[in-house]
Structure 1
Amino acid sequence: MRPSTSRGVGRARGAASALLASLLALVLVTGPAAASPAVASPAVVPAATPAAGDGARAVVDVTDFGADPSGALDSTPAVAAALDHAKDLGGPTRVVFPTGTYQLYPDRAPVRELYVSNTVGADQRYKDKRIAILVEDMDDVVVDGEGSRLVMHGEQTIFASIRSRDVVFEDFTAEWVAPRTLDLTVVAAGTTNGQTYRDLRVPDGYVYAVDGTTVRWSGETSPYTGVPYWTDQGAFGYQQVVDLATGRSSRGSWDGASTNPFAGVSAITDLGDGRLRFVYAASAASAPVGRVFQMRRTHRDTPAGFVWESERTTVRDATFGHLHGFGVVAQLTEDLTIDRVRFRAAADSWRTSAASADLVQVSGGRGTVTITDSDFGFAHDDPINVHGTYVELVSVDGPRTATFAYRHGETAGFPQFYAGDELALVDKATMTDVQGGTATVVTVDGPTGTDTSHDLTRMTVTLDRDLPAGIAPGAVVAENVTYTPAVEIRGNHFESVPTRGILVTTRKPVLVEDNTFDQMGMASIYVSADARSWYESSVVRDLTIRGNTFTRAQSPVIWFDPTSGAATRP
């Protein structure tokens, strides 16, 4: 492939390079985690007459409602009050965070029962989502961080746009104090008394205690309840590794050293200053200095950002030091723009994981998805995934009525069709459209995305024409053709990911241009449609890939892989 001339070329390695430089210089960031801010209930102060902003746009200042730019108090209730006031104004608004540091805790954040694609499906343990910055049923609003730092606590969604139009989130940095993704960096390694050892650096913010040959971990303690936001032990349940010297990231070992730092451990000692010494049998392969063990749980309780049933949503000029749960998810939404957004852990944080799952996922979009001039690094899964969802035929209930069901455990609870949408039936064995199987949806009885009043996995759909004869339950899937977007991915940088760089499955035109891909563990650009595993649609018919640069690829850089419901592939 020819070298890229994109605007995204030449970016520094960012957090990993800075972390490695600190490591090699033996500059260890020490000291206890910062204490929690004082618990406060900021008074809701009525805003003054809206000031003139850009044009007729009213300005709502979150500090007028008690938000604290010094970072001493919890600003969450004040931010919610400011957004409620902006909503009441009923016109174009700019909600501003005067430059500063804002602490955002989940305890008093708005709560919504929401079901989100590729998260936890119908699992009722995670139905309630806490959202720090909630734009809901609003039009023409800009949330402007003015360069502020948002310090996130616990487990929550950073921002959401729900049933809203013309929404912009811009100019802020969001960082987590103690995300439930733990990175342990090898700062020293060798042998002592015939045994291999590694000294592992724990990022600040975590509470931990050695317990024999394991470690008990917890996140920070809620200042409201006095209880840790989460607890865990050992290797969490999932592990992968990244090498800071080379940038290689992998879900498996490439040099004989286990991805699990607890494998074969015979003793653990707390050395203080955030360092733990792990001692192993002499036969254990020693992970080198600069190796990072990245550990997490596999459930995805909430999206870090959520855009749902909205139109023309933009996220720009932002930095996400970590995305808790499942990245930024745009679900059944129209026209999404991601521009000049950086997904990287802070360089001085001893963290490398930018997310425990995908960074940006579009599940059922329409209009155009535009992702430009952004930096995607060190995610645990695919940086960008644009897809729809196949639902499987369960029963034919009448000449024009059928019942369909979600078939992946992490996807359920949200609507798949609206009245007026175009539905297409697809043969699972051949992955081709069923002849005569395209129709308009007249009515839908199924999940709403916000409650359990309907079955969370099944939906009954009535069409404007008869169903084709001979279609059989289990052999056919349906997709929403209306919610398949055009896609433009230009000028971005992708680095050090153990999976794919871009997944794309949509019937509309796709342009992947002038991007750089460095150290992708799987295909840099992966084109598929899946009616057997994740049930992510759809067929790809118009795809342009040009001007991209691929370096240090660990597999074919462009891969076409339709996954049918048949024993053999189509």
Structure 2
Amino acid sequence: MPVPASLAVTDFGAIPGGHSDAAPAVGAALQSAASLEGPVVLRFPPGDYHLWPEAAPRRELYVSNTVGDDPRYRDKTIALLVEAMDDLVISGEGARLILHGIQTTFAVIDSRRVRIDGLEFDFAVPTVVDATVVEAGVAAGWPFRVIRVPETTLFSVEGRSIRWHGEVLGSGAVAWEGRDSLEYTQIHDPFSGRTRRGPNPLFENVRSIEAVGHREIRIDYDHGEEPADLGLVYEMRLTTRDHPGALVLDSSGVTLSGLRFRFLHGFGVVAQGSRDVAIESCEFRTPPGSGRHTAGFADFVQFSGCSGRAVVRDCLFDGPHDDPVNVHGTYLRVGGQPDRRTLELEYAHGETAGLPQFSPGDEIEIVNRETLQAIAWATVEGVQQPSGRDHTRPLRSITLTCGSDLPGDLADWTAVENVTRTPAVHIARNVFRNVPTRGVLVTTRRQVLIEENRFERPGMAGVYVSCDAGEWWESGPVRDLTVRGNEFVEPGGPAVFVDPRIARADSAHPVHHGVAVEGNRFVLGEVPALDATSTQGIRFRDNSIVRSGPEGWDVVLRACSDADIEHDVGELPLRIAEIR
């Protein structure tokens, strides 16, 4: 094995602890690393590095579940770009990269055997406003609140309104701006350890607003009852996912290890069209003592159209605005069928378009969109599709040529999944907390093992298995899923929820197969430990269930066949509802 060449960003002018823009030096260091043959280690010595967008590389990219083909957001600004590089280690224990403006923290594109290790990423001005109610009451007959925002939040009071905004960039424009409750709110309760989506009362019936103290704002109201939300945190943001938080695109053998994500703007760490990606010992959490509670603008981690193995282990996920981990493929709607071997496919969801989905030799499955039952299989012989890197071709349509005849009249009622681009999944020893949604979403037909995780009071299910060709268009069915040795603490929905989105469930034609729920500990309110629909071969054994609220069903089965359910949990009989 050749000895790796060693470089440091300080060799190119980056100054740890300085406040000047380190982006030119970081870009030069990466270019130098790309020019060397053999393995390279690029080091960030300990200290802070500020990265501004003006000198950062930009690429036209189309990323799953973001802004689709909206031309306003074609170009992505990338603070740390690894492109067409093999055998690279980026090491940075003790180094903190502080991003300014709107950027993707890093992207690994068209690369192999890349490891990013030890870095901490944060934003100078996060794009989520965390407002804590620190005082509430009635004064002179008027209800009021005092809210406190973190040091990193920029704002101005303008009459009876607040303008939140990002930094002023070199162009003179602000990075982002919005007013009052912005476009979306979720509410975090530090005392109960729960985070939920809900209405925002902070800016209703406002009589006056004034800044008081250093980071505090008093809001008086012209009518209403005394506020009863002392201590709650209103997490407010805009809704456009204009950038991926980080991106692993069309790459293989990528490992993200020991990283600390203090804030991710946009859509989390997205692995797209990649093979063998591992995320290990990473921390997704705001800096302790910062007054911030939101570490992610949306999801934390998403695998879309990947293959090989997708691994997430020994991580902490704390404070996203959507799902911490989501693994899925993409169904494409069949919009036309010119002949028996040709399909005209369409991206159906507005947030996904412009990315390639197929290569010659890939295997596809065609399903009935209402039942998700397979109709036919074929091998891809040729494809005309967008590149994911430019807009010279149509961004919402794909023409697929198959190597054998297909059934006729497939247009409008069927969908296609690339079954070659589906990963095996291992999710182990992670902690999920302050989550408004599900903990783990997974839809892949290869082996899935979810083990030894702790799910603390997610707003919905702990583990969610969907598959739908009508809403999010996230494919596909599970065939071998094991959920074992996990702890589910008071989830807001079924702890394990197998929920294919079909018009009517039929036990003779199941969507999912081979789901084992074994050796888990469930602490539940009135929700079930397992709720499953249209699934064959469920095993539910050696689990323990503790009820913290009113008793409900322990297991709910809807149109499920060949289920093997252990009927006793300790000394108590299992409460099972079977709905045919």
Residue 483 (1) aligns with residue 421 (2): yes
Name the CA distance, whole Å, in 1 between partners of 2:303 and 2:373. Answer: 23
- Higher deviation after alignment, 167-176 or 209-218: 209-218
In structure 2, what is the equivalent of residue 75 of structure 1? Answer: 22
Contact 2:2–2:38 (CA<8 Å) still a contact in 1? no
Aligned to 2:568: none
Give the whole-Å Cα distance in 1 for the aligned partners of 2:202 and 2:396. 38
User: Per-residue CA shift, 1:27-58, capped at 9, x if unaligned?
Assistant: xxxxxxxxxxxxxxxxxxxxxxxxxxx95111
- Which of 446, 450, 453 does residue 508 from structure 1 map onto? 446
Contact residue 205 and residue 220 of structure 1 kept, 8 A: no
Partner Cα separation in structure 1 for residue 71 and residue 391 of structure 2: 9
User: Within the alignment, does 1:459 sit opposite 2:398 as a pair?
Assistant: yes
The SS at the match of 2:10 is helix
1:410-436 Cα offsets, whole Å, 9 max, x none, are 0000001112211111111211111xx
* CA distance in 2: counterparts of 1:408 and 1:296, whole angstroms: 22
Match of residue 272, structure 1, among 201, 213, 221: 213
Q: Answer whether contact 1:428 1:565 (CA < 8 A) is retained.
A: no
Shift of 1:385: 0.3
Note the C-alpha offset of 1:289.
Answer: 2.9
Partner of 1:44: none
CA deviations 1:211-231 (Å, max 9, x no partner) are 222111211112x22321112
What does 1:102-117 align with in structure 2 at a 5 Å threshold? 102-117=49-64
Q: Note the 1:281-300 alignment, pairs <5 A.
A: 281-284=222-225, 286-300=227-241
Per-residue deviation, residues 313-351 of structure 1 (Å, max 9, x unmatched)? 111101101110100000010011010000001112221
1:467-478 correspondence to structure 2 within 5 Å: 467-469=406-408, 471-478=409-416
2:313 corresponding residue in structure 1: 372
What is residue 240 of structure 1 aligned with on the other side?
A: 186
- 2:504 and 2:35 mapped to 1: Cα distance? 54
Output the CA distance in 1 between the equivalents of 2:370 and 2:121: 44
User: How many residues align structurally?
Assistant: 508
- Alpha-carbon separation, structure 1, partners of 2:268 and 2:487: 25
Query: Structure 1 residue aligned with 2:106, among 159, 170, 176?
Result: 159
The 3-state SS of whatever aligns with 2:137 is strand
Shift of 1:282: 4.9
Distance 2:127 2:25 in 1: 26
Match of 2:254 in 1: 313
Matched AA of 2:461: A
Q: How many angstroms apart in 2 are the aligned matches of 1:123 and 1:61? A: 38
SS of the residue 1:520 aligns to = coil
- 1:100 to 1:241, Cα distance in 2 relative to 1, 3 A: same
Structure 2 distance, partners of 1:512, 1:231, is 40
Matches within 5 A, 1:154-553: 154-222=101-169, 224-252=170-198, 258-284=199-225, 286-434=227-375, 437-469=376-408, 471-553=409-491
- AA aligned to 1:246 is S
* 8 Å contact from structure 2 (residues 137, 226) kept in 1: no
Residues 3-18 of structure 1 aligned to structure 2 (within 5 Å): none
SS at match of 2:281: strand
1:205 and 1:420 map into 2 onto residues whose CA distance is 50
Describe the SS at the equivalent of 1:79: helix
Distance in 2 (alpha carbons) for counterparts of 1:161 and 1:564: 36
- How far 1:196 sits from its partner (Å)? 1.9
User: Does the 8 Å contact 2:136/2:226 carry over to 1?
Assistant: no
Aligned residue in 1 for 2:522: none
Return the letter of the residue paired with 2:349. Answer: H
* C-alpha RMSD over aligned residues: 1.6
Distance in 2, Cα, partners of 1:259 & 1:207 = 20
Bigger mean CA offset, 189-198 vs 237-246: 189-198
Q: Which residue of 1 aligns with 2:553?
A: none
Higher relative contact order at CA 8 Å, sep ≥6: structure 1 or structure 2?
A: 1
SS at match of 2:283: strand
Deviations 1:224-268 (A, max 9, x none): 22321112111111111101111111102xxxxx42421232221
Per-residue CA deviation, residues 271-303 of structure 1 (Å, 9 max, x unaligned), is 130110111245235143321001111110000
Aligned equivalents of 2:369, 2:384: Cα separation in 1: 24
- The 2-side partners of 1:562 and 1:439 are apart by 23
Cα distance in 2 for partners of 1:90, 1:477 equals 45
Instruction: Give the CA deviation at 1:352.
Output: 0.5
Task: Encode CA deviations 1:480-516: one digit per residue, 9 max, x unaligned.
Answer: 1011000000000000111100000000011110000
* Segment drifting more, 237-246 vs 484-493: 237-246
TM-aligned CA distance change 1:410 to 1:567, over 3 Å: farther
Inter-partner Cα distance in structure 2 for 1:287 and 1:453:
55
Q: Is the 8 Å Cα contact of residues 264 and 284 (structure 1) preserved in structure 2?
A: no
Name the structure 2 match of 1:36.
none
Q: Could you tell me the TM-score, scaled by structure 2's length?
A: 0.85
Shift of 1:565: 6.6
Amino acid at match of 2:148: R
Confirm or deny: 8 A CA contact 1:106 1:156 kept in the other structure. Answer: yes
Rounded to whole Å, the distance in 2 between the matches of 1:65 and 1:147 is 19
Moved more, 142-151 or 317-326: 142-151
- Name stretches of at least 5 consecutive residues in structure 2 with no aligned partner: 507-532, 535-580
Residues 287 and 417 of structure 1: is their aligned pair in 2 closer, same or farther, counting only changes over 3 Å?
A: farther
User: CA, structure 1 residues 512+567, in 2 after alignment: closer, same or farther (shift >3 Å)?
Assistant: closer
Q: What residue number does 2:573 align with?
A: none
* Residue aligned with 1:146, SS: coil
Aligned to 1:34: none
Residue-by-residue CA offset, 1:365-404 (whole Å, 9 max, x unaligned): 1001111010001111000000000000011122211110
CA deviation map 1:428-470 (0-9, x unaligned): 1211111xx211111110111000011101000111111123x
- Partners of 1:96 and 1:261 lie apart in 2 by 45
One-letter amino acid matched to 1:502: V
In the alignment, is residue 119 of structure 1 matched against residue 58 of structure 2? no
2:26 aligned counterpart, secondary structure: helix
Q: Structure 1 length as normaliser, TM-score? A: 0.87
* Structure 2 letter corresponding to 1:561: D
Q: What is the DSSP-based 3-state SS (H/G/I as helix, E as strand, rest coil) of the residue aligned with 2:35?
A: helix
Structure 2 CA distance for aligned equivalents of residues 244 and 63 of structure 1: 41
Cα pair 2:104 2:245 within 8 Å, conserved: yes
Is 1:557 aligned with 2:504?
A: no
Q: Distance in 2 between matches of 1:384 and 1:260?
A: 30
Identity fraction in percent: 45
Question: Quick check: 1:66 aligned with 2:1?
Answer: no
